[in-house]
Structure 1
């Protein structure tokens, strides 16, 4: 504190800075030699008398001044210490006796200013002030050597007055540099808010995924499945092993997917932190040119489109894995309920045997579900031993169990897709029991109202509930589309092709470029790096889920549509010249 007070005593009361060549008046007050001379020059011209700026001691003649040697030595020593501390930095252009750090630079004057000289500098708009700099070349037009005062939005560059009227920028949207800078800073602040919100959401997602990783829905699946299949025969035990194997595989996939997703989100969190720091730095800059040039980079200008879409695609595999596991558990619980019903019926039949009134000769002709076949096999007057009847009852139980319970499990296998030739366009060739679709140069069938205009066909098979999938193999060249469609899809016109309307969804390939299409809107899938021509199409009707998977060494999700399906879905295919699609009746081996 004392050192600050002493330091203030070494400031000239006129320039408010350290003394430069200090001199002392007869009244005892000290000033810079240049400061007091300038003051008296002004007083002499205006008032014809001279006075001390502090005590107002007046004299008609210009007073003599005495150089204060002791004060000179103190100030010189202090200047020397400050100079040693200033290893780097830009100094004031007008402080000629010692180096004073500059706080601003005038681009018009090409001069750097300290606090003192900034206060007396020209305040007009022509004198553009920026952060201290010694580089003036990038502040002037390289062609006309004039100050950059405008910003061309179409070319994304700063220009001078001469550039505005030049041929290269005629008709372009041009605005003053300051307005462009203010608008860009406003946009960056908006982006900063969105990025901060995105970062917070990412952190929340990481926490949720970590919690889900510790409480996976398949934790007790093995116990439940084992309990369900404890009392059933060889066929049921085979199905039990199949389901347990599937659960184990899904659990491993889910664990890997969670870990991978957490890693990706951690990386994204770090990127957002770096991005937020950079944006905050740009928002606090006073240099319009640097802000505009730095923020023109792709990571700022293009990040608003669809950065939020990026996380949805990455979560597809996790969501589908969980959906499959949940559906599998629903099947098992349904199997358990039906098994208990069948076991109870079998127990009742075995306990009652021939003594059951329903099987006596005097029984009515009324048949009950699950009993009619048994009673029909029994002859009232045969007198056969009860054990024979009970064996038939057990056989009936097994048959009834297989017919009522097992088909639910079998329905989870690959769907049998049968193509409807009645919808096939006249230039579509169907081969190999209508499982191979290709383009034909000639008309193969008569034109009807149900046929598509060109290259397209629907399946006879339709889905209005449940989960289904089918595998396809495609050509690696040409132009093709595979997907699903409502039966009401238009057959002719500009938007008959699957994906070009609201009634259909598809995966499209044109010359090696893949995209997902719905309602005429395409999403580029080039970043998925798809190599190979085998795909799986998965539908969960109740969940409104349509997923396209790439099949190679493993199943990899490339795109997922979510919708509220309102009509039955048909498998749909479209091919152009040089393209083909083959429907595989069995799943591709991986």
Structure 2
């Protein structure tokens, strides 16, 4: 009760400017009281010099009133000090302040500890990233050096073998040319002898001719396709194909490992459009993957279905042959957000592995019909989600813009309906991704239907 009374009394004698117990209390014409020093400083500090006002009720005074000490309030303050009620209030307030200060100190210590941990983590990130770059560069340098040495060794072996084969051919050629010269000379001698009339003399001269050199073996000289060292190119090509397959697999694994460097410190998913925009990426479609009925814009961001085949395009191993599909160029790992604007009766928006097949009309090719793709099929009557030939049907919802959020390391894929800054979740996937993902579109046989990265 005494504390309540003390609180009431203290409030009644507190200055509205400094909020402390009044010192030299004065009362102004409106009836409110303040410390003489506080009200003087307050009036001296006001921007207008013509009118002074009450800091509580804002009543203005002209001219500036004289300040007279309120003896009653001054007496009351002295009495409260003597009774110790002010000390009680001050003690209670100090206790509250001390508790609050201790709580703040604890929060400061906690935050400083977290700041220190984050500083250590940043140092570790830089240290391990630099080590990873140095180690990987060293390994790639070793591989590069090995490849250069192997290339040099093969080249030197080819040069050496070329000289051996050239010398063999040249020696055989010289031997044959010498034999031809000798035969021609003998033919000339025999021709002259055949013109003589003395048979005995002819026989004598013929028998005295030296024997011809041994005939050169020509069994190894036959008309045949001249294809030297072709096996080297074939073997090198085969090796390159195997190496390429190995390198693609290693590149895929490296991308995933790098993107998941912070998986142990899982980040919260974005919740607002502004947060999603911080992880947006500029993606472009790959014309080499586009079906001939799909036209990719010059900026490689818009794909449109056309009835007539676009200008003749060279066959490409990455091009979709039957399904009217297309993939983007950049591998997507880590976190990414992208928005797609669509138009027309039916458009598929998908994420797929690059290893998704391209040729034929089977389920291994179509988005959503295999384990390598996840698709949101948007129609005028609604939408549905498909993966590995399993479909989830949803009620009809009108929307033209789709937002896609991917957290590759966390295995999260979300499709959103976008309306301005409002995002409505359409479908969420929780899985484990084993390869980098690529954005894909599929359009159907409706001229003018399109999908565009915005």
TM-score by length of 2: 0.38
Quick check: which has more Rg, 1 or 2? 2
TM-score by length of 1: 0.30
